[in-house]
Copies of this chain bind each other. A is one copy, B any other.
Amino acid sequence: MTDYPKMTAEERKAEYAKVTKEYEDLKARGLKLNMARGKPGKAQLDLVSDIFSLMQKPEDYVSDGIDVRNYGELSGLPAAKRLFAEILGCKPEQVFVGGNASLQLMYDTISKAYTHGLLHSERPWCREPVVKFLCPSPGYDRHFKVTESFGFELVTIPMTDEGPDMDAVEEAIKDPAVKGMWNVPKYSNPDGIIYSAETIRRIASMKPAAPDFLLMWDNAYCIHEFEGDYVEFPDILSECEKYGNADMVFEFASTSKVTLPGAGISCFACSEANMAYMEKLLTVQVISFDKVNQQRHVLYLKDKAHTLELMKKHAAIMGPKFRCVVEALDREIAPLEIASWRRPKGGYFVSLNAMPGTAKRTLALCKEAGVTMTGAGATFPYGKDPQDSNIRIAPSLPPVEELEQAIAVLCVCLKMAALEKLGV
């Protein structure tokens, strides 16, 4: 097998005919497979469904003297704060435990900045002529969408192997209209990159022109290794504090991929000054989040060590799926020199860069053959990948047997699109 760019026109023609035949055969199978979203598979749901057997004894209804079944405790159960604090490495009093979705807490933080302003805002962001937000890309489409929905101008920051390009960030934050930055610092979505110590130091010590710069630190995959041991990661709150930036950061996490997606618990963590400010705003909005579910999670997860044991069991389900994807790419695509991809050890995605100008075509072909993928461009601001290259693969939902078929389809589509681009 020669790599495609080096093939003669004749060879490409022949290869295209062969690959198209393979594609038609796969299409004829009438597949209906989904690699679009970081959605856990059924085996992972079954793994944790013994959580429903808890909360059976009256003593389970009480936590630190609080009847978890009644109203109250806006910022969450102290025991749930302790659990998240231990996992994130911050202090319990820096933790606000919310409902089933950290995305909602993130949206709400941005929304509050917009409607009321943050602790150090001169005015609510809706009164600013322009608000710009830094989007390390490829990144998480839902993050970008939140800031886009408030009319912010999204500024693309390139990703490097160590996290966001900090030269670009440090330049951008000189503009006082730049109000914040999205981050998935551990096993970034979709690259699976762990921000380096130096990147974190530069982030924590930033001196943005905006006094109310908002570092959105979505630690979505903080304990989500699927290969190898748990990787320690610095507490961003104390890092920021070290450089006089205690109030700059809001960290987010959830158990959506620890217990149940959509029925877990979430949190944000921030300085105590930010906490006091946010609680004053949040008390208008909600009496308390679901403390029964918080208690259920405290009883189920117990502490960090016990939670990490559970994550090993998730890894035993997730690991083979990721290996299946990467091995297929290594076997089918690597020799052709038409794409590159990362080999993450945690998180929920494999990020693949196809030959520039072929991502859209590749995914259209996949769709036609019954394989749904995250839309091309989704990992960039406004859904527009300037290179039309990045493809996010989410292998968690299908069982391995289905995944093998789905990735086979993807490989064939990558080939077809590349050959078409090179000319056939």
Contacts and interface: CB of A to CB of B under 8 A. Distances in A.
**How many interface residues does chain A have, given as a range?**
35 or more
Contacts of A256: 71
A49 B61 contact: yes
A101 B145 CA distance: 25
Nearest to A53: B56
Given A45-B67, A45-B69, A149-B116, A100 B285 contact: no
A113 to B, nearest CB: 11
Interface string A46-60: 000100110110100
A300 interface: no
B285 A104 contact: yes
Interface in A283-333: 284-293
Contacts of A104: 285-286
B281 A263 contact: no
A146 to B, nearest CB: 6
Nearest to A292: B263
Nearest to A288: B262
A77 to B, nearest CB: 11
A263 B69 contact: yes
Given A111-B111, A290-B99, A292-B263, A285 B116 contact: no
Given A69-B263, A263-B293, A111 B115 contact: yes
Contacts of A287: 101, 103, 142, 261-262
A230 interface: no
Contact of A260 (B49, B281, B284, B292): B292
Contacts of A4: none
Interface stretch (A35-43, A172-180, A370-378): A35-43
Contacts of A56: 52-53
How many copies of this protein are present in the complex?
2
Given A70-B262, A115-B150, A52 B55 contact: yes
A356 interface: no
A126 interface: yes
A72 interface: yes
Contact of A69 (B115, B126, B261): B261
A107 interface: yes
A293 B293 contact: yes
A114 interface: yes
Contacts of A284: 107, 142, 145-146, 149
Contacts of A263: 68-69, 290-293
A400 B287 CA distance: 25
Given A45-B67, A69-B261, 18 more contacts: A39-B72, A40-B70, A42-B67, A45-B69, A52-B55, A71-B261, A71-B262, A99-B100, A99-B290, A101-B287, A104-B285, A111-B115, A115-B126, A126-B126, A262-B287, A262-B289, A263-B291, A290-B290
Name the 3 nearest CB pairs between A and B, nearest first. A263-B292, A107-B285, A100-B290
